[in-house]
A and B are shown apart, each in its own frame.
Chain A
Amino acid sequence: MSALTSPARRPVRLPRPGTLVALLLGVVYLVPLLWIVLTALKSDEVIASQPNAIVFTPSLSTFSDILEVASTSVWTSFRVAAAVTVLVLAVAVPAAYALGRRTGPWWARVVAWVLALFLVLQMVPQPMAVIPLYGILAEWQLVNDVWGLVLADVALLAPFAVLLMRPFVLGIPTELYEAAQMDGASGFRTFRSIVLPMLPNGIATVGAIVFIITWGEFIYATTLLTDPAQLPVSGLLAQQTSLYATSWNRLMGLALLTSIPLLVVFLVAKRRLVEGLSVGAVK
């Protein structure tokens, strides 16, 4: 970190303490990931007799078993997560903008209240929320429908996304708004041509987070979708364990396979993050 930066005599990009921190983090996250890969490469026999083994004959049997079931689930999850991300951003970015403007004490009160309510709204534990939600969605004929799950996830994540997005809006310099006002820009034009262009890294960060959380959400997913053909990834993973047996190799194999699309999403979003940085720098 900057606090540990070595003196400026060496214009190296990454100072040594920083490298150490990065490497340490790398190890702490790589080891469990390697463990997952190892487990996924174990055959059923190895799993049964020596689940903690590090040396064993690897087998790809798990992967060939799960490829087909994984691909259908990935498609469902992808549709759900993409729709949720788009909708959440569509709802949360304007709201964060509204809650991130400093325009006087009256509005500040509104902001404070709305933020507090958004916090409290998130406090219903999901298993408890799902039963009344099921009732509402049933009335709208949306149970066992991907769109019902999408709506439930949007309601779950929208307040969270607003809270996350607001600091990015606060980071927009007030002079920009003043300049827009002098140009006589309308409210919506200010939003579209001043605010949105300033938020690419906010949108990328929050979007990626929403996408990933939706991908992993399983309580709504397994309760609101009842058609086994539509089971999303999270439900598929939850299915692998129960009272009687847990197929660790299948679980880990599925976890790996189904996470690959997430990595792609993140890498795409990351490029946006870097661009966002340069936009900020140009300004």
Chain B
Amino acid sequence: MTSTAGVTDSAGGAPPAVAEEPAPGGPGETRRGLPRPHLAAYLVPAVVVCAALGVYPIVQMVRMSVSDVGPATLIADWEFLGAENYREVLDSDTFWPAVRATLVFTGVLLVVDLVIGYVAAAVLARPSRLTSAVLSLMVFVWALPPLVSGSVWKFLLAGDGLVNSTLELVGLPAVDWLSDPDLALWSVSLVAAWASLPFAILIIRGGMLAIPTEVLEAASLDGAGPVRQAVSVVIPLLRPTLAVLTILVVLYAFRSFDFVYVMTSGGPGTVTTTLPFLAYQEAFRTYSFGIGAAIASVLMVVIALLAVPYAWGVRKEESA
């Protein structure tokens, strides 16, 4: 339903844009922005599924965020509060530190997944017995639920865990990876990045494999070195893939809290409390559903804002 509304909106705004930009010169393609019913038809199943099961939860969440929904009122009628939950969220002592934690978490994920992910995908895209084994191993580990992989890292990073034992073996002091307030957030973020890296590699590698080999051959015939080849040929061709990956990583960081939940419960203190964890804690641990929904809605608005440049990029790229 929302999607249909979106289509109508853009149709309403369409004519001037069409008049300005000449349609691309595809031979025989429909010009002047005529509707393309057959393409829209391919969208129908996805739109139906989302309208049936995706829209109602959003509506409920937004309604909850402007209502007084506490422990005893979840099932009852919700009293309308207006922006009060939002005001309370923005004024609270926990919100801004959580924003900071979320940004750090997201940043670490982005750097690891995009940079290390690109390097690793390039390595693992070459067929060999080693790369095949490493890739399978990584996918196997990625498939383990966060409850398991997070717990494993909690053990490995414990005071007497394997990481500290190794440090001590080479004469370095043990580190409180998860309880030092200056380190905990980085540790949790890195573990989450570790857990999502195989996914990033799969995606980037899939994109790389889709690049026709002739393109790469042509580039190396032109004498392009490996770095230049990556920068001027591979990355531009991978742009849609990398854009989607960036968006998905941000999306993940903004809605998931599994590693925080398993490894630190947001602590020590509230150091690793990211916004999605805060939303979960407010709604389901202390039953302030309205506050939790308001935090989740704020995150949704941020994602919607981020979707604008993404969609803008898509539009330019599509109509170019």
Contacts and interface: CB of A to CB of B under 8 A. Distances in A.
Interface of A: 1-5, 13-14, 18-19, 21-23, 25-26, 28-33, 35-36, 39, 51-52, 54, 90-92, 94-95, 97-99, 101-125, 127-129, 131-133, 136, 151-152, 154-155, 158-160, 162-164, 166-168, 170-171, 174, 178, 181-182, 187-188, 191, 201-202, 205, 208-209, 212, 215-216, 218, 234, 237-238, 241, 248, 251-252, 255, 259, 262-263, 266-267, 270, 273-274, 276-277, 280-281, 283
A104 B319 contact: yes
B42 A97 contact: yes
Contacts of B229: 2-3
B314 A108 contact: yes
B89 interface: no
A1 B118 contact: yes
Contacts of B211: 171
A213 to B, nearest CB: 9
A124 B312 contact: no
B61 A124 contact: yes
Contacts of A122: 251, 255
B147 A106 contact: no
B103 interface: no
B213 to A, nearest CB: 5
Interface stretch (B92-100, B156-164, B167-175): B156-164
Given A108-B318, A151-B53, A152-B53, A32 B30 contact: no
A262 B140 contact: yes
A191 B311 contact: no
Given A128-B61, A255-B145, A103 B26 contact: yes
A104 B162 CA distance: 57
A90 B45 contact: yes
B109 to A, nearest CB: 16
Interface string B47-84: 10110111111101100100000000010000000000
Contacts of A170: 240
B111 interface: no
A192 B126 CA distance: 30
A105 B17 contact: yes
A124 B299 CA distance: 9
Interface residues of B, number: 132
Given A94-B45, A98-B40, A33 B206 contact: no
A218 B145 CA distance: 9
Identify the interface centre among B127, B160, B206: most chain A CB within 10 Å of its CB: B206
Dominant secondary structure at the A interface: helix
A115 B314 contact: yes
A2 B230 contact: yes
Interface of B: 2-3, 6-7, 9-11, 13-14, 17-18, 21, 23-24, 26-31, 33-36, 38-43, 45-47, 49-50, 52-58, 60-61, 64, 74, 118-120, 122-124, 126-128, 130-149, 151-153, 155-156, 158, 160-162, 194, 198-199, 202-203, 206-207, 209-213, 226-227, 229-230, 234, 237, 240-241, 244, 247-248, 251, 254-255, 276, 279-280, 283-284, 292-293, 296, 299-300, 303-304, 306-308, 310-312, 314-315, 318-319
Nearest to A30: B137
Contacts of B64: 128
B43 A167 contact: no
B56 A132 contact: yes
B115 to A, nearest CB: 11
Identify the interface centre among B136, B147, B212: most chain A CB within 10 Å of its CB: B147
B57 A128 contact: yes
Given A111-B318, A119-B307, A205 B202 contact: yes
Contact of A114 (B3, B194, B293): B3
Contacts of A108: 314-315, 318-319
A3 B28 contact: no
Contacts of A129: 57, 61
B106 to A, nearest CB: 14
9 contacts: A29-B141, A33-B141, A35-B155, A102-B319, A115-B310, A118-B50, A120-B58, A216-B143, A280-B210
Contacts of B240: 166-167, 170-171
A51 B11 CA distance: 62
